[in-house]
Amino acid sequence: MTIGIGLLGLGTVGAGVAEILANPEGRHPLVAELALRRVAVRNLERPRAAPVAAELLTTQAEAVVDDPAVDIVVEVLGGLEPARSLILRAIAAGKPVVTANKAVIARHGEEIAAAAAAAGVYVLLEAAVGGGIPIIEPLKQSLGANRIERVSGIINGTTNYILSRMAAEGADYGAVLADAQRLGYAEADPAADVEGADAADKIAILTGLAYGGSVPRQAIPTEGIDRLDARDVAYADKLGYVVKLLAVAQRIDSEPDGDKASGDPDALLLDVRVHPTLLPRSHPLAGVNGVFNAILVEGDPVGQVMFYGPGAGAGPTASAVVADILNIAGIRQATLPAGPGGGPVGLDPLLAAGSWRRCRLIDGALTTHRNYVRLRTSDEAGVIGRIGTCFGEAGVSIQSIVQFEAHNEAAEIVVITHEVLEERFRQALDAIAALPEVQGVAACLRTL
């Protein structure tokens, strides 16, 4: 039984998919039953290394979706439009969709999921998070018995590459970014990566899968690494930490008092965020370096499980895309009717991954966490004491307070707090900033 594949896009990932389909030998035998039927490209004339017959190419993306020989539509265009419209068009035609497009799923996921559920087709997206790492499928099909406590991940390879080199070389952000751009690890316009939007798209997707309900993508507090100072990476190292751009989604079981008013008391309260974070060197994610990604899932009763691998690249991403195609082909085989007139009649609820719970974001001021703060102060006796007193008066308990360097009558004092309510921590910081000996709060980072 041959299954016709329509490919929207023949860039890096699309070419990787075509490569796998053209060379099924040694892979799962189902791969040999997939046949590329039509491929949408922007420019027919561009020379291509991908093993795709010229007559399959078209500039009419709709024609790929509409082609009766196309059973599964694979969207690897990226971006919001026309990706969103083409995905919806495929769903409307009753065709399952495989996409690698985190942006469109993070922003239009609910619309797409609703359309897919109504039409009874699958929209699979293993490649949208973590490149080649199986993480979507395991969250949907292997961890369903768990109450997920937390999902935390290094899910942007560009920033992890930059941070790894900043840590290893003591180099500045700007210099490493320029080098990463030269080497192809960062794009010419790196904003989506370094400002955290890409990681926020991905944690939005993981949140929906882990908790069975979505949170508004735009409401996810997001901080990138673009203002990170090499000094903080170095000080963190001296204190036994590494700095990583972490995307976190965490359930909040005991609702803070002040949050009761914000409505929908039945919704699961979640703390979802993206920011540079200090990880103790013993943390499972601390050793993830370079362009590698890793996602740590904590749940009851499984405990901690981690998924590690290449977060991007043609081959790994194509591996994930074809995995999704195979899953659709596999379940199609299971639902094939014995005789004529039958047909697939339902969706596997795990694979379809509909939402089954309402979720909402906690007010940031009511979250509790540990903090790293770097203060610029004058180099006077008693400064540490006065800073400690400010924290103490605000009820902020301190794990360590260290003076790092002092010259020209200036010093740098680094404080790591215990877990504390954000509101209270901000009060303490305001009081500290008002001290005459304190010239400024130079950096403030979350700490695990």
We find the least distance from the C-beta atom of residue 131 to a copy of itself, in angstroms, to be: 9
- State the Cα–Cα distance between residues 351 and 420, nearest whole angstrom: 39
Residues 409, 415, 420, 425, Cα dihedral to 10°: 20
Q: Which of 95, 102, 140, 202 is catalytic?
A: 202
Taking the complex as a whole, how short is the minimal distance between the CB of residue 50 and a copy of itself, in angstroms? 13
Binding to a copy of itself by residue 242, rule CB under 8 A?
A: no
Candidate segments 40-48, 99-107, 323-331, 433-441, binder of a copy of itself by CB under 8 A: 323-331
238 is catalytic: no
> Does the footprint of a copy of itself cover residue 26 (CB under 8 A)?
yes
Determine which residue in the list 181, 262, 335, 427 makes contact with a copy of itself, applying CB under 8 A: 335
Does residue 302 touch a copy of itself according to CB under 8 A?
A: yes
Q: Does 252 bind a copy of itself (CB under 8 A)?
A: no
Residues between 254 and 293 with contacts to a copy of itself, criterion CB under 8 A: 284, 287
Contact flag: residue 19 with a copy of itself (CB under 8 A): yes
Q: Residue 113, interface with a copy of itself (CB under 8 A)? A: no
- Least CB distance from residue 168 to a copy of itself, whole Å? 13
Which residue of 336, 402, 410, 433 would you call a contact of a copy of itself, by CB under 8 A? 336
Using CB under 8 A as the binding criterion, the count of chain residues that bind a copy of itself stands at 67
Contact stretch for a copy of itself (CB under 8 A) within 51-59, 78-86, 126-134, 433-441: 126-134
Which CB atom, from 321 or from 413, has the smaller least distance to a copy of itself? 321
Judged by CB under 8 A, the chain residues 351 through 390 that form the site for a copy of itself are 351, 356
Kindly tell me which of 108 and 360 has the beta carbon lying closer to a copy of itself. 360
Three state DSSP letters for the chain? CCEEEEEECCCHHHHHHHHHHHCCCCCCHHHHHEEEEEEECCCCCCCCCCCCCHHHEECCHHHHHHCCCCCEEEECCCCCCCHHHHHHHHHHCCCCEEECCHHHHHHHHHHHHHHHHHHCCCEECHHHCCCCCCCHHHHHHHCCCCEEEEEEEECCHHHHHHHHHHHHHCCCHHHHHHHHHHHCCCCCCCHHHHCCHHHHHHHHHHHHHHHCCCCCHHHCCECCCCCCCHHHHHHHHHCCEEEEEEEEEEECCCCCHHHHHHCCCCCEEEEEEEEEEEEECCCCCCCCCCCEEEEEEEEECCEEEEEEEECCCHHHHHHHHHHHHHHHHHHHHHCCCCCCCCCCCCCCHHHHCCCCCCEEECCHHHCEEEEEEEEEEECCCCHHHHHHHHHHHCCCCEEEEEEEEEECCEEEEEEEECCEEHHHHHHHHHHHHCCCCEEEEEEEEEEC
- Residue 322 lies near a copy of itself (rule: CB under 8 A): yes
Among 316, 387, 412, 414, the residue binding a copy of itself under the rule CB under 8 A is 316
409 binds a copy of itself (CB under 8 A): no
CB of 196 to a copy of itself, least distance (A): 24
Q: Which of 170, 174, 258, 330 binds a copy of itself (CB under 8 A)?
A: 330
Establish if 10 lies at the interface with a copy of itself (CB under 8 A). Answer: no
Distance separating alpha carbons of residues 288 and 142, to the nearest angstrom: 23
**Of the residues 100, 113, 270, 318, which one makes contact with a copy of itself according to CB under 8 A:** 318
List residues with catalytic annotation: 202
Binding site for a copy of itself (CB under 8 A): 16, 19-20, 26-31, 126, 132-134, 137-138, 141-147, 212, 284, 287, 299-310, 313-316, 318-323, 326-327, 330-331, 333-338, 342, 344-351, 356
